[in-house]
A and B are shown apart, each in its own frame.
Chain A
Amino acid sequence: MGFKRKKGDGDGEEMESEGRGKPSFNGGGQKHVILPSMIKNKDKRSKVYAKQKQEKKLEKQKKIRERDAAEKRALELGEEPPQKQIPKTIENTRESDETVCRPDDEELFADIDADEFNPVLRREVTPKILITTCRFNSTRGPAFISELLSVIPNSHYQKRGTYDLKKIVEYATKKDFTSLIVVHTNRREPDALLIIGLPNGPTAHFKLSNLVLRKDIKNHGNPTSHEPELVLNNFTTRLGNRVGRFFQSLFPPDPNFRGRRVVTFHNQRDFIFFRHHRYIFDIKEIKPSDKGKDGVSQERVKPRLQECGPRFTLKLVTLQHGTFDTKGGEFEWVHKPEMDTSRRRFFL
């Protein structure tokens, strides 16, 4: 067979001819790592694998112990401890996207100026929303819609009937609505949201999941009718910026801070989490720190949140330029399954 390689044996060349494996060419000390999958004998293979795992574990433990010891030593001597390693998160290791908005991008500003959302965001037009459903509405749909009506100010609900969506779009434009929201129900649960900007705004199709109604939230609060504040987090790319502005155009641009209502759209890994809270700022005394620096109690301001209104998650499926037209419309962004292959790539 001649396939099995003993450790500490052979040349670099032979290593290369094997293809895989992790040769480390540090001058004299060459480690030949045997890939267990190359060994055909199951018994031997499992033994080699177990041994390698054990060695890796020991190495890791040794490293951790060294690190801890170094830190302790540095603290005792009064020096600065060695810098802590930053753990890798998916957000840290996100694939770099060239469409991320930079603060000095002129093209971005030009695009924003020529946006469809400008009339609303520049306070020329107050937003007026029409909410409707798909042809068959059942169970949680109506409850969700009534909650949406309370969240979004200046919104109206109309029953769907059997009208064509394009006809509904025409009707809404005629009646001076700025947006149309269609709640789509599947298997007795709302599962998609179609937001159409009017008169010629973009159409965004979102997948809705994880809906929790107000009555199912513990200790929920009741929203008032003051205009809410908006929080839009993590919309970094150009596409994300556009979607963020789209959400912004649903709400009136002048929030009433006295009402202390905040509506949040938080984007994390292409999932947009919707939350609706009432907040209040508290002055809390924080107990003296344990390090014994000062025994003085400091007072800090802390905001407290009470959740009211529904809670759900959205995921963008398609974004189409112009009003609803699946056949003839121009799609700015479509989600394809091949986009999901990389775990570190996000689009919003």
Chain B
Amino acid sequence: MQHDEVIWQVIRHKHCSYMAKIETGIFCRNQYNVTGICNRSSCPLANSRYATIRDHDGVFYLYMKTIERAHMPKNLWERIKLPRNYEQALEMIDKHLLYWPKLLQHKVKQRLTKMTQMRIRMRKLALKTREVIIPTPRRDIKREQRREVKAEKAALLDKAIETELLTRLKTGIYNDIYNYPESLFNKILDDGKKIVNEVEEEDKEVGVIEYVEGDDDELEEEMEDMEDFSGFPSKESYLEDSDEEDEDDAEEQVVIHKKGRALKKSDDNGKSKKKSRVVVEVEEEDGGTRALKSLKL
């Protein structure tokens, strides 16, 4: 009884394990404290007559301590179960804390109110689905990341996707949809040589050019030629003169024709560069190549 003051002096000024000093104030961690603040009137150690409310699993109990049991720590706190109903609980507190200091009664009732409110809120929250944060040890997180990197390397994703697409193509579900004709595609798949051969054949065809006899046009062209080329080398002039002396006008054409031909031939030999004209050569063996040459002119 008289101990209270002494105890308080010692606790407050020396050391109390339950005291927690934060920037907002000084708090008491003792479970039996009514208000939670470290005070002369709120300290459960420094008050021989004390009352609190504590809750176990949602049930509220009124704890009371009197000076008569101060020497029996085991039976120090008397526990009374409070009813679930808030008003009834208040009445019960009134009944049990009758003749107790007003401050204590008031604080105990305040505590009851607060705890009831908390209980209601906790129940409501428990009904809702809440996210639970489960911490994983850093070792596991690192291990997972390492394994993921290795798995990605082992996966060879692009290659896998490409092979899968190829197998699907081969089964033929894409047919009729694709941008190249199927026949060509099959050829490609089967034999690559054919394509190379085809290209060569075309080349040969390109080289060979067939000519059909054209009549007057040719003669006229040759005539024009002759007009243009007045100054010929001596060989040609010889031919010209000899022919003309021998034959009459009736054979003029033929003569001219012959001349033309002769001229043409000599032309080919001598002055192939002047004329950029297609030459008709059919029967000779080297005809093809000759024709080619003139073409290139």
Binding stretch for chain A, among B155-163, B217-225, B263-271, B281-289: B155-163
Does B177 sit at the interface, judged by CB under 8 A?
yes
Q: What is the total number of residues of chain A having a CB less than 8 Å from a CB of chain B?
A: 41
Q: Which residue of the partner chain, among A135, A210, A301, A337, contacts B166 with CB atoms under 8 Å?
A: A301
Once bound together, how far apart are the Cα atoms of A317 and B128, in whole Å? 22
Which residue in chain A gives the minimum CB-CB distance to B131? A134
Question: With the chains together, A269 CA to B146 CA distance in Å?
Answer: 12
**Does any Cβ of B come within 8 Å of A161's Cβ?**
no
Q: Known: A264-B157, A315-B144. Contact between A231 and B164, CB under 8 A? A: yes
Closest Cβ of chain A: how far from B164's Cβ, in Å? 5
A326's partner among B129, B145, B162 (CB-CB below 8 A) is B129
Bound-state Cα–Cα, A300 to B190, Å: 10
Within 8 A of B (CB), among A313-339: 313, 315, 326, 337
Q: Are B164 and A299 in contact (CB under 8 A)?
A: no
Chain B residues near A296 (CB-CB < 8 A): 192-193, 196
CB distance A297 to B196 under 8 Å? yes
What per-residue 1/0 map shows which CB atoms of B170-206 lie under 8 Å from chain A?
0001100110100001001100110110000000000
| Residue B140 at the chain A interface, CB threshold 8 Å | yes
Interface flag for B120 (CB, 8 Å):
no
When distances are taken between beta carbons in the complex, the residues of chain B under 8 Å from A134 are 131
CA distance A271 to B192 in the complex (A): 41
Q: Which B residues touch A90, using CB under 8 A?
A: 154
Q: Inter-chain contact count A-B, CB under 8 Å? A: 90
**Given A209-B148, A297-B196, A299-B195, are A275 and B161 neighbors across the interface (CB < 8 Å)?**
yes
Q: Does B143 contact A (CB under 8 A)?
A: yes
Q: Does B208 contact A (CB under 8 A)?
A: no
B95 at the interface (CB under 8 A from A): no
With a CB–CB cut-off of 8 A, which chain B residues contact A233? 160, 164
In the bound complex, CA of A313 to CA of B148 (Å): 8
Complex CA gap A279/B162 in Å reads 9
The CA-CA distance from A298 to B152 in the complex, in Å, is 33
Find the B residue at minimum CB distance from A269. Answer: B151
Verify B192–A305 contact, CB threshold 8 A.
no
A269 close to B147 (CB less than 8 A) = yes
Q: How far is the CB of A56 from chain B (nearest CB, A)?
A: 26
User: Is there contact, CB below 8 Å, between A281 and B169?
Assistant: yes
Q: How far is the CB of A78 from chain B (nearest CB, A)?
A: 27
Q: Which residue of B lies closest to A285 (CB)?
A: B192
B10 close to A (CB within 8 Å): no
- Closest-CB distance, A293 to chain B (whole angstroms): 13
Q: In the complex, which of the residues B128, B158, B188, B193 contacts A283, with contact meaning CB atoms closer than 8 Å?
A: B188
**8 Å CB contact of A89 from B131, B152, B154:** B154
Give every chain A residue within 8 A of B165 (Cβ-Cβ): 231, 262, 279, 281, 303
> A164 at interface (Cβ–Cβ under 8 A)?
yes
| Size category, B interface | 35 or more
A84-108 CB contact bits vs B (8 Å, 1 = yes)?
0000011100000000000000000
Measured in the bound complex, the distance between the Cα atoms of B165 and A231 in whole Å is: 9
Closest to B136 in A: A337
**Interface membership of A302, Cβ < 8 A:** yes
- A329 to B40: give the CA distance in the assembly, Å: 53
* Contact A166 to B129, CB < 8 A, known contacts A269-B147, A301-B189: yes
> In the complex, what distance in Å separates the CA atom of A258 from the CA atom of B173?
11
Evaluate contact between B196 and A271: CB separation under 8 angstroms.
no
The answer to whether B192 and A298 touch across the interface, beta carbons within 8 angstroms, is yes
Residue of B whose beta carbon sits closest to that of A324: B129
B154 with A301: CB separation less than 8 A: no
B161 touches A301 (CB 8 A): no
Shortest CB-to-CB span from B154 to chain A, Å, is: 6
Using Cβ atoms and an 8 Å threshold, which residues of chain A touch B155?
A: 266, 268, 273
The yes or no answer to A257 lying at the interface (CB within 8 A) is yes
Report whether B188 and A271 are in contact in the complex, using a CB–CB cutoff of 8 Å: no
Cβ A231 vs Cβ B161 within 8 A: yes
A87–chain B nearest beta-carbon distance, Å: 12
- Contact: A210 with B148, CB < 8 Å? yes
Distance of A271 Cα from B169 Cα, bound (Å): 27
> Does A214 count as interface, using CB distance less than 8 angstroms?
no
A301 touches B160 (CB 8 A): no
Determine if A262 and B161 form an interchain contact, defined as CB atoms under 8 angstroms apart: yes
A340 at interface, CB cutoff 8 A: yes
Q: Is the CB of B169 within 8 A of A264?
A: no
A281 contacts across to B, CB distance below 8 A: 165, 169, 178
Docked-complex contact B157 and A273, CB < 8 angstroms = yes
Q: Which of A249-271 contact B (CB under 8 A)?
A: 257-258, 262, 264, 266, 268-271
CB < 8 Å neighbour of B188 from A264, A273, A301, A313: A301
Contact across chains for A165 and B129 when beta carbons are under 8 A apart: yes
* In the assembled complex, A242 has its CB within 8 A of some CB on chain B: no
Residue among A273, A300, A303, A340 with the highest chain B CB neighbour number at 10 A: A303
CA distance A315 to B166 in the complex (A): 28
The 6 A-B residue pairs with the shortest CB-CB distance, nearest first, are A298-B192, A268-B155, A269-B151, A268-B151, A303-B165, A271-B151
A-B contact pairs, 5 of them (CB 8 A): A210-B152, A257-B173, A266-B155, A268-B154, A315-B148
